[in-house]
Amino acid sequence: SCRLQWHFALRLPRSVPNACHYSAVHSDAKVKDPFTLAQKDLKNLYDDIKKELFVSTAELKSLCHYYFDGKGKAFRPMIVVLMARACNLHSNRDGDLLPAQRSIAMISEMIHTASLVHDDIIDGSDTRRGKKTINEVWGERKAVLAGDFILSAASMALARIGNNAVVTVLSQVIEDLVRGEFMQLGSKENENERFKHYLEKTFKKTASLIANSCKAVSILVNPEPEVHEIAYQYGRNVGIAFQLVDDMLDFTSYANQLGKPSAADLRLGLATGPVLFACRQFPELHAMIMRRFSLNGDVDRAWRYVLQSDGVEQTNYLAQRYCQEAIRQISKLHPSAEREALIRLTELVLTRNK
């Protein structure tokens, strides 16, 4: 049966929590928009990343620069920059970013991008951010190398920071990304463990990078391990919430003019939060999950079950709970505009629709 003892799921509230609790604070006009506040430090970020990716051959250059076109959301660098400044102020420094902290903002985006390049090969994806993927344009072989190259350039930049704790913390991210991807490829998980497995995969694939980047910028300025842990926990919780919302949007956002939802995850055989919750109401989903939606009609049928269920809503509640925990953590830092912007950012994570 799908009615399992899911630790997280069973502790979920049965009604929508009062989201206004936070929005009252967030709508305060004095709280700066995180994007605006981070802007000065993010200026030229992509140009600086391209300088790290110095390459002599024109073709390798085109591949490696492909996703650093400045059209990304720079979500990870933005969090890193704001966290860095909040941590600096917490230790009674001025808020200005240290060069090493800005490097970490760049490295976080480089690691993220390298993992996208390899993910797209693994998923056989042909589009990303409205353009063709690297594997689609240049083929799988060169895409493998482009990902390796971006990752090694990130490692070099990391080594140049010259802080062993920072190197260790960010090396862990790359390991987590691979483990997370492998967990995602695995399809035969024990039914009881499936939700735990999903959240662990979500941590490794998405949240580890954010959590450990936040930790790294704190290590550089705060002597207290407690502060590193606050930064880490904020990043971990925001990162998981971000991915839960992503998984939710895969069911609710409309990808093209025909109004057809993409349900890309189902097509890839992946059961994310909304399906796992829906399975509690519609045990018929269990067999489809186990065969990774591989039979004709599985994707459409599963999609309909999910929308009939409260799976999307429950996923949203869960994301809210992670954001509440992120806020609880970051609130332990001394007050600053950056701290408030990081709180507001959790709201943006929950309300984004693309």
Q: How many CA atoms lie within 13 A of 121 on its CB side?
A: 18
144 Cβ contact partners less than 8 Å away, ≥ 6 residues apart: 118, 121
Quote the least distance from Cβ 235 to a second copy, whole Å. 19
* Residue 131, beta-bridge partner list: 128
Quote the least distance from Cβ 141 to a second copy, whole Å. 5
Q: Which stretch binds a second copy (CB under 8 A): 57-65, 82-90, 101-109, 266-274?
A: 57-65
Task: Kindly tell me which of 18 and 171 has the beta carbon lying closer to a second copy.
Answer: 171
- The pair phi, psi for residue 127, each rounded to 5°, is -135, 150
Quote the least distance from Cβ 254 to a second copy, whole Å. 29
Residues 320 and 19 sit within 8 Å (Cβ to Cβ): yes
Quote the least distance from Cβ 166 to a second copy, whole Å. 9
Q: Kindly report the CA angle at 296 between 128 and 281, in degrees rounded to 5?
A: 85
Residues 333 and 230 sit within 8 Å (Cβ to Cβ): yes
Assign 232 to helix, strand or coil: helix
H/E stretch holding 128 reads strand 127-128
Residues 7 and 196 sit within 8 Å (Cβ to Cβ): yes
Which x/- pattern, by CB under 8 A, does the window 90-119 give for a second copy? ----------------------------x-
Residue 186 engages a second copy in binding (rule: CB under 8 A):
yes
Interacting residue with a second copy among 20, 185, 287, 295 (CB under 8 A): 185
Using CB under 8 A as the binding rule, the residues of this chain from 164 to 183 that contact a second copy are: 164, 167-168, 171-172, 174-175, 177-179, 181-183
74: alpha, beta or left? (left if phi > 0; alpha if psi -120 to 50): left
Residue 141 engages a second copy in binding (rule: CB under 8 A):
yes
Residues 87 and 333 sit within 8 Å (Cβ to Cβ): yes
Interacting residue with a second copy among 46, 149, 198, 293 (CB under 8 A): 149
How many residues make contact with a second copy (CB under 8 A)?
39
Using CB under 8 A as the binding rule, the residues of this chain from 58 to 77 that contact a second copy are: 59-60
Binding site for a second copy (CB under 8 A): 55, 57, 59-60, 118, 121-122, 140-142, 144-145, 147-149, 151-153, 155-156, 158-160, 162, 164, 167-168, 171-172, 174-175, 177-179, 181-183, 185-186
